[in-house]
């Protein structure tokens, strides 16, 4: 298994424009032991002698070490192993864990590397056609890149408008030259790894807005790009992980071209994971990437995506990819949100009031119901609950909101009542709690405990907003965000 080295949060797509990446630190991590046959890459790296160098690669936007070699007195060593490496972009790492240069590991994996640290741009790969293509393309792109930099400098320092226009036209021609170099690879080496990487890297160009029956269709460019974003990319190809730009492109796609609505996200991840299923490396990578993203989502309601992943992948056998602790954590998290997704009816609350009368959520009609689960010993709760009361008194009451404050700490009934009295919470509140006897009865009956599991209350305060039918319409927002949400609901 590869080991994580560093996160490439700001990695530029230097591969396609420059073959040398200097002085990038790589942390030392343990390597996987391999045997003598599947890959055999000879390296001569002067002036290093009697020292260890490393073979690194990408794992999404992270960098990992894949193998090591001991250089002898002649600066020669071998990256050898009984297993083949996943083809893709690799790099040589110095004894001090800095990246020296990049190259391709092809399907053959039997070639030689000759390099000298005094002139890394002149390194050579012997016996690999894919590296020949890569080297030729990189040199062309380097030359074009240098010319473009000069033109940009001239454009930025142009003294007259005519000079600016002249350099701007030259820059446009230069962009055409870049496209021509890429097209040359597509035409002359359609089955090469370089063509594969260009397909992964490529973004569709925005088309012009069409005029249909005299009306401009301004949405067409967006949907065109979305529909062609993954042209020629198949999600079961493990080589996707051996690029620094696939994961960045994936993140960009979900950020810019996929609706934040959970059902839209589910459609996308379901398709990608279904196609990726046969990819030994790419499938678990995507599954865990999506799981990590949506187990604690950025936007309200997207925990539905995580629940979909649990029900359609993990609960159907993919937990073999997890250790016991992770399996337990994912399962518990899934069960804690099953009953409280946005749009679901709120779980029943049958609790006791402060004077020990019975209270039932579904027997308390209201236009909106705001439920606040809080602990009278929680410092943050003591800050937020008076703010809830302030919003309720000044605005929410007029909107038909009923506020239900649920004490989650049955052992602190006295301090709970004292705080409510001292803060003068509005008389319109409903203050309730679950008795110890009722809590124990739920456990004895083997039922999910109402407050913690059915409402996912593992931190306080935890807030929910229900509509008139007691369906959950918002949760896990700040008090201010709930106020804004209510205002938006009223405008609707």
What tokens appear for 164 in the block?
């600016």
* Boundary (domain end) residue, out of 101, 127, 153: 127
Considering its fold, how many domains does the chain have in total?
A: 3
Average pLDDT, the chain: 89
DSSP codes, 462-479: EEEEE-TT-BEEEES--H
Predicted local distance difference test score (pLDDT) of residue 424 = 92
Measure the N-to-C terminal CA separation of the chain; round to a whole number of Å.
52
**Cβ atoms of residues 483 and 380 within 8 Å:** no
| pLDDT for residue 461 is more than 70 | yes
The answer on 321 and 357 residing in a single domain is no
For β-strands 88-93 and 51-59, DSSP reports them as: antiparallel
Q: Does residue 461 have a cis peptide bond before it, meaning omega lies within 30 degrees of 0?
A: yes
Number of Cβ within 10 Å of residue 394's Cβ equals: 10
* Boundary (domain end) residue, out of 305, 337, 369: 337
- 211 within some domain: no
- 199 within some domain: no
What tokens appear for 43 in the block?
């390296």
Predicted local distance difference test score (pLDDT) of residue 23 = 36
DSSP codes, 264-303: HHHHHHHHHHHHHTT-TTHHHHHHHHHHHHHHS-SSTTTH
The answer on 414 and 307 residing in a single domain is no
- 374 within some domain: yes
The answer on 375 and 430 residing in a single domain is yes
| pLDDT for residue 30 is more than 70 | no
Closest CA to 57 of 238, 277, 290, 249: 238
**Cβ atoms of residues 128 and 104 within 8 Å:** yes
Residue 23 belongs to domain with CATH number = 2.60.40.1120
- 134 within some domain: no
Give me the phi and psi of 451, to 5 degrees please. Answer: -75, -55
The answer on 405 and 307 residing in a single domain is no
* 331-390 confidence digits (pLDDT tens): 999 999 999 999 999 999 999 999 999 999 999 999 999 999 999 999 999 999 999 999
| pLDDT for residue 121 is more than 50 | yes
What's the rounded Cα separation, in Å, for the pair 399 and 428?
13
The answer on 328 and 244 residing in a single domain is yes
The answer on 363 and 277 residing in a single domain is no
Residue 361 belongs to domain with CATH number = 3.40.30.10
* 262-286 confidence digits (pLDDT tens): 999 999 999 999 999 999 999 999 9
* 288-301 confidence digits (pLDDT tens): 999 999 999 999 99
How long is the chain?
A: 492
pTM of the model: 0.84
The answer on 369 and 478 residing in a single domain is yes
Residue 289's domain spans which residues? 222-337
What's the rounded Cα separation, in Å, for the pair 454 and 452?
6
* 64-103 confidence digits (pLDDT tens): 999 999 999 999 999 999 999 999 999 999 999 999 999 9
The answer on 397 and 322 residing in a single domain is no
What's the rounded Cα separation, in Å, for the pair 342 and 331?
20
- 96 within some domain: yes
The answer on 482 and 433 residing in a single domain is yes
The answer on 356 and 265 residing in a single domain is no
Predicted local distance difference test score (pLDDT) of residue 5 = 38
* Boundary (domain end) residue, out of 83, 104, 127: 127
Predicted local distance difference test score (pLDDT) of residue 10 = 25
- 305 within some domain: yes
**Cβ atoms of residues 453 and 336 within 8 Å:** yes
The answer on 387 and 463 residing in a single domain is yes
Predicted local distance difference test score (pLDDT) of residue 317 = 78
What's the rounded Cα separation, in Å, for the pair 83 and 492?
61
Q: What value, to the nearest 5°, has the Cα angle with vertex 96 and ends 95 and 102?
A: 75
- 464 within some domain: yes
- 173 within some domain: no
Own/partner long-range contacts of 46-52 (Cβ < 8 Å, ≥24 apart): 46/75, 46/115, 46/116, 46/117, 46/118, 47/75, 47/116, 47/117, 47/118, 48/75, 48/94, 48/95, 48/117, 49/73, 49/74, 49/75, 51/95, 52/95
Model confidence at 446, pLDDT cuts 50, 70, 90, reads confident
The answer on 272 and 382 residing in a single domain is no
What tokens appear for 331 in the block?
């399962």
Model confidence at 37, pLDDT cuts 50, 70, 90, reads low
Q: Strand, helix or coil at 54?
A: strand
């Amino acid at each position: 298994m590869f080991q994580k080295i560093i996160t490439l949060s700001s990695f530029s797509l230097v591969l396609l424009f420059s073959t040398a990446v200097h002085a990038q630190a790589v942390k030392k991590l343990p390597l996987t032991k391999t045997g003598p046959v599947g890959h055999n890459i000879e390296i001569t790296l002067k002036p290093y002698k009697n020292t260890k160098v490393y073979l690194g690669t990408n794992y999404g936007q992270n960098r990992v070490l894949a193998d090591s070699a001991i250089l002898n007195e002649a600066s020669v060593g071998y990256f050898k192993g009984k297993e083949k490496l996943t083809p893709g972009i690799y790099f040589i790492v110095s004894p001090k864990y800095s990246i020296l240069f990049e190259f391709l590991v092809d399907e053959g994996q039997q070639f030689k590397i000759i390099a000298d640290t005094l002139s890394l741009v002149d390194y050579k790969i012997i016996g690999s056609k894919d590296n020949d293509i890569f080297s030729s393309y990189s040199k062309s792109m380097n030359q074009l890149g240098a010319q473009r930099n000069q033109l940009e400098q001239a454009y930025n320092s142009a003294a007259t408008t005519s000079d600016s226009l002249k350099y701007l036209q030259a820059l446009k021609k230069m962009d055409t030259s870049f496209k021509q170099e890429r097209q040359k690879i597509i035409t002359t080496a359609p089955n090469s790894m370089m063509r594969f990487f260009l397909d992964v890297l490529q973004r569709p160009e925005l088309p012009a807005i069409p005029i249909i029956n005299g009306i401009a269709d301004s949405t067409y460019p967006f949907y065109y790009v979305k529909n062609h974003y993954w042209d020629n990319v198949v999600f079961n190809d493990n080589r996707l992980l051996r690029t620094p730009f696939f994961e960045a492109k994936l993140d960009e796609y979900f950020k810019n071209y996929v609706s934040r609505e959970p059902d839209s996200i589910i459609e996308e991840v379901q398709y990608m994971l279904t196609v990726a299923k046969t990819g030994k490396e790419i499938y678990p990578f995507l599954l865990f990437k999506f799981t990590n993203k949506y187990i604690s989502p950025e936007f309200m309601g997207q925990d539905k995506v995580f629940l979909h992943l649990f029900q359609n992948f993990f609960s159907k056998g993919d937990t073999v990819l997890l250790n016991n602790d992770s399996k337990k954590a994912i399962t518990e998290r899934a069960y804690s949100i099953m009953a409280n997704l946005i749009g679901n009816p709120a779980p029943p609350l049958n609790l006791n009031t402060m004077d020990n009368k019975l209270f039932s959520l579904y027997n308390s009609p209201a236009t909106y119901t705001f439920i606040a689960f809080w602990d009278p010993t929680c410092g943050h709760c003591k800050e937020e609950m008076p703010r809830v009361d302030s919003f309720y008194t000044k605005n929410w009451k007029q909107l038909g909101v009923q506020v239900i404050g649920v004490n989650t700490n049955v052992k602190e009934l006295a301090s709970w009542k004292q705080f409510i009295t001292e803060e003068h919470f509005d008389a319109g509140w409903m203050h309730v709690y679950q008795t110890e006897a009722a809590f124990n009865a739920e456990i004895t009956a083997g039922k999910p405990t109402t407050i913690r599991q059915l409402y996912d209350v593992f931190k306080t305060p935890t807030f929910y907003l229900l509509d008139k039918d007691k369906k959950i319409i918002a949760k896990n927002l700040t008090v201010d965000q709930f106020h804004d949400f209510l205002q938006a609901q009223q405008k609707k």
